[in-house]
Amino acid sequence: MLFTREELMETVKERVERCTACPLHLTRTNVVVGEGNLDTKIVFVGEGPGEEEDKTGRPFVGRAGMLLTELLNEVGIKREDVYICNVVKCRPPNNRTPTTEEMFACGHFLLAQIEIINPSVVVALGATALSFFMDGKKVSITKVRGNPMDWLGGKKIVPTFHPSYLLRNRSKELRKIVLEDLEKAKSFIKEG
Ligand code: URA
């Protein structure tokens, strides 16, 4: 029997809601699975939910999310046309970086989401998302941003700075770099 992408994603959500594989489930208000168009060819992956995301159950709705939406618009991408999610689905207390154990306890949900959507490009927003796609290796985002990496199933991973980093470093140059990376990611979209 064939399932629709919506049905498959719903089962991921149900599994995330039942998950107790790491301590983050103890302190979360809501799980934040992801949202957007399941037929998109481009997926954006952040680190993990922050305060607003934990409150609402939606990814990237706080300040970093507003900036992400603005940057996407600037390169002609409508937020509702793409899929946005995170490596970890529960908020790390005080917005700390998720541990490697938390990241890999949760990561199979992200892999399932990518398999359901089957995009041609995944944009890794920041060092945590990038390290997930590099099997936990810590790589300097400054060194590799904008350089597409081949990943499973012919997909490209395009790393760029996390929007929170841009909020902390409000330079025109940095913003321009991220916009260039997003344009590059767009160029790898393969339709069909
Ligand atoms: N930062 C993230 O990495 N993800 C969110 O959903 C919000 C802020």
pLDDT above 70 covers a percentage of the chain that reads 99
> What's the pLDDT at 1?
64
pTM, two decimals, is 0.97
Cα of 106 to ligand 1 centre, how many Å? 15
Cα of 23 to ligand 1 centre, how many Å? 19
Q: What is the pLDDT of residues 77-131, one digit of tens each?
A: 999 999 999 999 999 999 999 999 999 999 999 999 999 999 999 999 999 999 9
Sequence ranges of the domains in the chain: 5-187
Q: Is there an atom of ligand 1 within 6 Å of 98 CB?
A: no
Query: To the nearest whole number, what is the mean pLDDT of the chain?
Result: 97
> What's the pLDDT at 192?
60
Close Cβ partners of 1 (under 8 Å, ≥ 6 residues apart): none
- Determine the Cα–Cα distance for residues 149 and 129; give it in Å rounded to an integer: 13
The pLDDT confidence band at residue 190, using thresholds 50, 70 and 90, is confident
Q: Would the pLDDT of 26 be above 80?
A: yes
Q: Would the pLDDT of 134 be above 90?
A: yes
Q: Would the pLDDT of 60 be above 70?
A: yes
CATH for the stretch 5-187 = 3.40.470.10
Could you tell me the CA-to-CA distances from 184 to 55, 57, 63, 127, 129 in Å, in that order?
33, 30, 24, 18, 18
Which H helix or E strand runs over 121?
A: strand 121-125
Residue type for position 62: G
Cα of 2 to ligand 1 centre, how many Å? 32
Q: What is the pLDDT of residues 140-161, one digit of tens each?
A: 999 999 999 999 999 999 999 9
